[in-house]
Amino acid sequence: TYIGSIVASVNPYKSIPGLYDRAAVERYSKHHMGEIAPHIFAVANECYRCLWKRHDNQCILISGESGAGKTESTKLILKFLSAMSQHSLELSSKEKTSCVEQAILESSPIMEAFGNAKTVYNNNSSRFGKFIQLNICQKGNIQGGRIMDYLLEKNRVVRQNPGERNYHIFYALLAGIEEREK
């Protein structure tokens, strides 16, 4: 539901067919926020539109408790903005920009490996904060971006609470070596 320009959402902990597919991206890209049902894509679209109307930087803040779906919401917003960027492209520059967008979208598993761990509440809990900045040109396509991390839970490297684990990257490294080397 909306609370002003804020969308309050609940993690369903399951996949809902059609909720975040290409048709949903298309549908929300054609409407202003509030014209159709509340959705994370409506917020992303409003942000994208305001970038052009006001010529001001825009920001989307995602917050919630562990397991609320913040990481997934971030991925969905990036997916939507990437689709909007692709729509704004001229064919000649599409391939180059697609690489930039693809790199931004594909950075998530790397960030999760180094910054996520199993907790008692969430098997893939982010143990850090991140600020994602996208550089969007006047034509509307993504030209670049950067991800800044902060507040990494450093003590997790040496100590975990009962029922919790270290960062995923350590288990991935161990899985990649021979048994005799362990």
The per-residue pLDDT for 66 is 86
Say if CB 24 and CB 40 are below 8 A apart. no
pLDDT band at 91 (very low <50, low <70, confident <90, very high): very low
State the first-to-last Cα distance of the chain, in angstroms, to the nearest integer.
50
The per-residue pLDDT for 167 is 98
pLDDT at 93 > cutoff 70: no
pLDDT tens-place string over residues 11-52: 888 999 999 999 999 999 999 999 999 999 999 999 999 998
pLDDT tens-place string over residues 47-81: 999 998 888 899 999 999 888 999 999 999 999 99
The per-residue pLDDT for 52 is 80
pLDDT band at 162 (very low <50, low <70, confident <90, very high): very high
Greatest Cα pair distance, the chain, in angstroms, is 61
43: domain CATH number is 3.40.850.10
Domain count, the chain: 1
67 to 112, 125, 127, 179: CA distances (angstroms): 14, 7, 12, 33
181 to 174, 175, 176: CA distances (angstroms): 9, 11, 10
Annotated binding site for ATP: 64-71
Of 79, 63, 76, 82, residue with least CA distance to 126: 63
The tokens of 158 are what?
A: 């040496």
Say how far apart CA 172 and CA 87 lie, in whole Å: 37
The per-residue pLDDT for 94 is 52
Q: What is the 3-state secondary structure (H, E, C) of 33-101?
A: CCCCCCCHHHHHHHHHHHHHHHCCCCCCCCCCCCCCCHHHHHHHHHHHHHHHHHHHCCHHHHHHHHHHH
Say how far apart CA 78 and CA 85 lie, in whole Å: 10
Annotated binding site: 64-71
Average pLDDT value over all residues in the chain: 90
pLDDT tens-place string over residues 133-158: 999 988 888 888 999 999 999 999 99
Range of the domain at 124: 2-181
